[in-house]
Structure 1
Amino acid sequence: MEHDYREPENHTSVTEFLLLGFSEFPELQLPLFSLFLLLYLMAMLGNLLIICIVCADQHLHTPMYFFLVNLSIIDICSLTTILPKLLLIFLTNSSNICFSGCILQLYCNIICIATEFLLLTFMAYDRYVAICTPLHYSMIMNKRVCALLATVTWVAGSLEPLPHTIVISQFSFCDSKVNHFFCEITALLKLSCVKTSVIDAMTFAAVIISGFSSFLLTLTSYVFIISTILRIRSTEGKSKAFSTCSSHLTVIILLYGMMLGVYMQPSSRDSTKSNKLPTALYIFTLPLLNPLIYSLKSKELKVALKKALSRKSTFVSH
């Protein structure tokens, strides 16, 4: 939807923005700081642990865990793009962010979103090959293919938000107060002095091309996966096949569910304000839940973690 147009005659050039954050809840500043800091540390620890365990254990050098390491890197980048600045606002009560810093934060945030969707799509394809064509799995999902898919993920994810970022960086802004806890695209567009029909069309096209196509490809993969699992005669075989994709399916459901909760709300004047909590839930909890989901549902990760802990305890005892 096109945002309100305001005449730019009386506006001055904006050199920095003010992130209002959760300033409407002054009594919650300390509890929110403590909560977000705890979530940040736990999510960073969980994702770094996943990366270290997978890199250290040769048995985990498989396509699924290779993609999981990339997912952990995305989660770390996503959190680091937003949370340190928000925590600094809580500590110092200084909500200033320079214009270039705001645009960079916007760009990095969209990169993380686009990259995560694309990576999860490739992970769905990996599970499709593993379950539907297991005899050809090692041939199809070889190291070269995995490296290529990872490269496509990061390159495409980095290029997709570039046009949006360039266009927005050229906008004139009538106000510097961003009613959000980070430089979110909708909150920034509300401050624009010019018509945003171009960026609205670009965003809609990106959602259709990237978001919907990723969803459609993921859905198609799982249609074939579920169809194959249902044809397995033994209960044990069905359970084993489903367990290989249950972690990824759980993450997919959480991601799309939270994204719909954030961006499919009815538009209103206070939509940005009402979106803050769902957005925080999506941004801060998913990077924490991802390593937990894979750790709890993956026997290989549990075994590798136990080995690492036992080696550490043996080393400490000696």
Structure 2
Amino acid sequence: MENSSTLIDLILLGVTDNPQLGVLLFGVFLIVYIVTVLGNLGLVVLIGVSPCLHTPMYFFLSNLSFLDVCFSSVMIPETLANLFSKLQAVSFLGCVTQMGLFIIFASAECNILASMAYDRYTAICHPLLYHITMSRVRRLKLVAGCYLGGLDNMVSVTTSITQLSFCQPHVLPHFCDIPLLSALACSDPWVTQILIVGCGGFTLITSIMVILVSYLSVLMTILRIPSASGRQKAFSTCASHLTAVGLYYGTTMYTYLQPSQRGSQAGNQMVSVFYAMVIPVLNPLIYSLRN
């Protein structure tokens, strides 16, 4: 029997059925979440109050940290609540809301990482024009475009998913993941899955192209620097960003650019946990250790 998507309840499975392991995971996840919030908000505050950090690079970094806090807050609190219950009901509207916020923050983070690559390209390849090119107005426009791109993806995907009909059982892993929710549909989810891959693929491909073109230009410029110390200094300004890009895009492409998730749910759950919990807590360390 088919149900209207706006009336159904979804059942979220816990991360584990072992109570002792649940207590351990709760402690670990809670510590990770606290460190994520404190680390990223600490960066935002530090950048805001330190005049020496009022530069384009740190402006983008403060937005990346803000997105990491929002991104983690969408996923981790519900995962913590589910650790002590084998089954937890959530309304379809609540699930779609969580999914929509996830799409906005994840897409915006892709775009922010691309903007940071463009910033490094401008700083290394055109240093004399850097402060003119990366003016305050230009930076604000780039960040606004990052968030608007995420909003556009959210509207497209969530609108398509709400048009589907769902059958019993409505069982999902520990949070409302986009491909797994569409896979529960009774009606043919082909169009929705194509839209998910299309929106995610467009955001990933365009941002990756910006990053690749920017860093190819940076590499060519660095190789023309005569001194070894100058080349090392130029490379060091890009190392943190390249590390963050590799972690973020690697897990994103593995999780969301697969046409079907039915056969690999366990593996995707682990990647999703890494994607939602570990990467946001690593970014402050990646960008702060070199300073």
TM-score by length of 1: 0.86
**Aligned ranges 1:55-94 → 2 under 5 Å:** 55-91=48-84
The reply to whether residue 283 of structure 1 matches residue 252 of structure 2 is no
RMSD value over aligned CA atoms?
A: 1.8
SS at match of 2:83: helix
Q: Tell me what 2:134 maps to.
A: 141
Give the match for residue 130 of structure 1. 123
Partner in structure 1 of residue 176 of structure 2: 183
Kindly indicate whether residue 219 of structure 2 is the aligned counterpart of residue 226 of structure 1.
yes
Is residue 121 from structure 1 mapped to residue 134 from structure 2 by the alignment? no
Aligned to 2:234: 241
Task: Mark the CA change 1:231 to 1:219 in structure 2 (over 3 Å): closer, same or farther.
Answer: same
1:195 maps to a residue whose letter is D
Aligned identity (percent) is 38
Partners of 2:191 and 2:129 lie apart in 1 by 46
Partner of 2:161: 168
Aligned residue number for residue 47 of structure 2 = 54
1:272 aligns with 2:239: no
Cα drift, residue 115 of structure 1: 0.5
- Structure 1 unaligned blocks of 5 or more: 1-9, 300-318
8 Å Cα contact 1:179-1:273 kept in structure 2:
no
Change (3 A) 1:145 1:73: same
Which moved further from structure 2: 250-259 or 220-229?
250-259
Aligned to 1:36: 29
1:199 equivalenced with 2:175 (yes/no) = no
- Larger deviation, residues 170-179 vs 131-140: 170-179
Distance 1:268 1:71, change over 3 A: closer
**Matched residue SS, 2:2:** coil
2:201 maps to what in 1? Answer: 208
On the 8 A contact 2:14/2:86 being kept in 1, the answer is no
Alignment gaps of 5+ in structure 2: none
**Structure-2 separation of matches of 1:264 and 1:240:** 36
Structure 1 counterpart of 2:223, one-letter code: L
- Contact 1:121/1:218 (8 A) holds in 2: yes
Instruction: Determine which structure has more spread, i.e. the larger CA radius of gyration.
Output: 1
TM-score by length of 2: 0.93
What is the Cα deviation at residue 227 of structure 1? 0.9
Distance 2:36 2:287 in 1: 13
Contact 2:125 2:218 in 1 (8 A): yes
Q: How many residues in Structure 1 have an aligned counterpart in Structure 2? A: 289
